[in-house]
Amino acid sequence: MVFPQIQLVVFDWAGTTVDHGCFAPVAAFIESFARFDVESTGAQARAPMGLHKKDHLRAIASMPEVARQWRSVHHRDWNEEDIDSLFAEHFVPLQLESAVRHSQLVPGLLSCVEELRAGKIKIGTSTGYFRGAADRVYAFAAEQGYCPDNNVCADDVVAGRPAPWMVYRNMERLQVYPPQAVMKIGDTVPDIEAGRNAGVWSVGVTHTSSEVGCTAEELGSLRREELERRIQAARQTFVAAGAHFVVDSVACLAKLVERVNHGLQDGQQP
């Protein structure tokens, strides 16, 4: 009997491979609501991170405090026409502007990809970005030397995360199966859930994540106790969401793949 090995890793983008701390979407969400005279916080903007951006807007608008403000300012509850306006007229141009500004590769990514490819592992991606923003991020990442074998954005499938369709689309295009030969890594709960829903190995990443929410410089300046508190909180969040594994950064991934491959030989399954 031939046991499968990891043949494909599907990476998230912001907060996993680019944009240390996942800041590009946060500013766009806050400013979009501000243009409707509704204040939202960074914590509120981050809470639904990982969803398709229009779903993300709905999730913020549905938060009790945000919904209360909307009702107070506009003398009615928000509706789908409001979400369409928030998205098309405000969020999209703001996101297009911020996506490139916050698309620097995270430390260790290129060496990680090199190690994986040396092991004949294909590189796929998924993202909650809409097509315009995704294409800008892809192009800027390529200028920095990161060129995945396949990219899938939320506009390419019938539903974004936590649905499994972006993972499956990568598997289809790169012709990799069964699911236990695939690993999905991301920095949000919907990332973890999408991996679990696809039946693949689901991995959370902490240090660069939206859950921790720090640039590389900010992370390096934290006191040890605060750093450990934030990392542990992110780890617990991912484990509670069903992550099979949690790593500090993508730089740890090649060793994790070796560990999973050994487990596969012993009959372990996602």
**Rounded CA gap, 87 and 29, in Å?**
9
Torsion of CA 48, 162, 135, 209, to 10 degrees: 50
Catalytic site includes residue 248: no
Specify whether the CB–CB gap between 123 and 7 falls below 8 A: no
What beta strand segments (E) does 154-200 contain? 182-186
Using left for φ > 0, alpha for ψ between -120 and 50, and beta otherwise, residue 19 falls in left
Sign of torsion over alpha carbons 165, 166, 167, 169: positive
Catalytic site includes residue 12: yes
Specify whether the CB–CB gap between 72 and 82 falls below 8 A: no
Type of residue at 119: G
Sign of torsion over alpha carbons 22, 23, 28, 29: positive
**Rounded CA gap, 148 and 156, in Å?**
16
Type of residue at 113: V
Identified catalytic residue from 19, 53, 184, 191: 53
**Rounded CA gap, 148 and 109, in Å?**
11
Residues in Cβ contact with 107 at an 8 Å cutoff, skipping those fewer than 6 apart = 20, 216, 249, 251
Residues with catalytic roles:
12, 53
